[in-house]
Chains A and B, each alone.
Chain A
Amino acid sequence: TAGITQAPTSQILAAGRSMTLRCTQDMRHNAMYWYRQDLGLGLRLIHYSNTAGTTGKGEVPDGYSVSRANTDDFPLTLASAVPSQTSVYFCASSASGESTGELFFGEGSRLTVL
């Protein structure tokens, strides 16, 4: 069972360039999330989607955008990368919402912006 697949696994990106992190799930979960994880900090929510066709802003949405055209895919786009966006990005999904149900995470995408 694949669960959640993220791509790329890692990427080095020049500042000012754009980048899309891909996330696909095969569990038919309604809710999907993008987090960033930085050393010494808890996971921080960037954007979320409660169901296909809807998205919402999390704690740290600036500089990021998402779309949810269908149930399975939830790409995260950095329009013009900055060094402060260097982080590990995790995509996650849940059947019943992050606040009451188990989250299933992808393996992460390590992004370095130079």
Chain B
Amino acid sequence: GQNIDQPTEMTATEGAIVQINCTYQTSGFNGLFWYQQHAGEAPTFLSYNVLDGLEEKGRFSSFLSRSKGYSYLLLKELQMKDSASYLCALTDSNYQLIWGAGTKLIIKP
């Protein structure tokens, strides 16, 4: 079967660094997305990884290891506005997009 696992909730401190993990088991792989969703709002695109390695974009970085079925989103210099849910989604061999349930990140002062 196909499965995506993310922690349900994480807490971090303002100014710190947090890593949100996403592990997956799918029939094939064609790319992995991360989206941010603030409470009561729409998801917004953060990153897209197709190849192994780290993609850096400002304070946010996304890492992918296809052999391990693993990705993480790294958030640096956390700000209160980073409190949101972070959604991992991947494209399987049939080019269907499969979504994880999301990780709710709580930032404390």
Contacts and interface: CB of A to CB of B under 8 A. Distances in A.
Q: How large is the interface on A (under 10, 10 to 19, 20 to 34, 35 or more residues)?
A: 10 to 19
A53 interface: no
B87 to A, nearest CB: 7
A76 B23 CA distance: 32
Contacts, number: 45
A44 B98 CA distance: 8
Interface string A95-114: 00111101111111000000
Q: How large is the interface on B (under 10, 10 to 19, 20 to 34, 35 or more residues)?
A: 20 to 34
Contacts of A34: none
Interface in A60-114: 90, 97-100, 102-108
Contact of A42 (B30, B48, B96, B101): B101
A108 B95 contact: no
B89 interface: yes
A45 B41 CA distance: 18
A105 B31 contact: no
Interface SS of A by simple majority: loop
Contacts of A108: 40-42
B45 A103 contact: yes
B74 interface: no
Interface in B64-94: 87, 89, 91
A88 B57 CA distance: 30
Given A42-B100, A97-B95, A102 B87 contact: no
Contact of A100 (B43, B91, B98): B91
Given A42-B98, A99-B30, A105 B87 contact: no
Closest 9 pairs between A and B when the two form their complex, measured CB to CB: A42-B99, A105-B42, A99-B95, A99-B91, A43-B99, A102-B45, A98-B97, A42-B101, A42-B100
